[in-house]
Amino acid sequence: MSPQKEITQLLYDWQKGDQQAFEELVPIVYEELRGLSRRFLARERKGHTFASSDLVNEAYLRLAKQDRADWKNRSHFFGVAATMMRRILITHARERNAEKRGGDMVRVTLSLNEGEGNEFDVERLLALDQALELLQQQDERKAKVVELKYFGGLTEDEIAEIMDVSSSTVRSDWRFARAFLFSRLNAKDNDKK
């Protein structure tokens, strides 16, 4: 059985209540979860207080509680894991911001353009999260594309598979979403001036 099919079968068995399937699944997907975690944290500033293993372990604990999940396949599982990791980092950023409001801000590196390394502080990360939530209210599919591509590190083909749309739809949604998010972030910057 191929690794993808094996993961899909274990996910299916887990969703049917087979706890042993979950126990078998964890070692198989752990390295991929660590890779996802490393991609998330690569965008963070040096010396970030979250280690890759911390993020994986926190996501693992949340995934373990997903006893009613309707796992479609491997890509769906990793999409949910990416969403969880994003939420964990946003919560962490909010807590850090509350602790240090007005003090030494935590620096976070983010870019919506591949290859760019713009640095944002915690306020900027939270502004990005707010803009993404606004996009989600207006167009849930486009927001999901951002979450899976930017935060999850999935390819356009993987996203298309998860969302059951074409790769060209994913590309179009990604272009629109980036423009939307940049306009919201720029508007927020202009409001501060």
Residue 29 to residues 22, 56, 115: CA-CA distances in angstroms? 10, 11, 27
12 backbone dihedrals φ, ψ, rounded to 5°: -60, -45
Q: Tens of pLDDT along 76-92?
A: 788 888 888 888 888 88
Q: How many residues does the chain have?
A: 193
* For the chain, the helix, strand and coil percentages under 3-state DSSP, each to the nearest 5: 75, 5, 25
d(CA 189, CA 193): 7
Taking residues 156-174, report their average pLDDT.
91
More confidently predicted of 90 and 190: 90
- List 120's β-bridge partners, or say none: 108
Identify the residue with better confidence: 112 or 78. 78
Q: What is the pLDDT of residue 106?
A: 45
* Averaged pLDDT of the chain: 77
Q: Which residues neighbour 51 within 8 Å (Cβ) at sequence distance 6 or greater? A: 41
124-158 pLDDT tens trace = 777 888 899 999 999 999 998 988 888 777 789 98
**8 Å CB contact between 33 and 60:** yes
Contact 77, 71 (CB under 8 A): yes
**Using CA atoms, how far apart are residues 176 and 171, in angstroms rounded to an integer?**
9
pLDDT score recorded for residue 109: 45
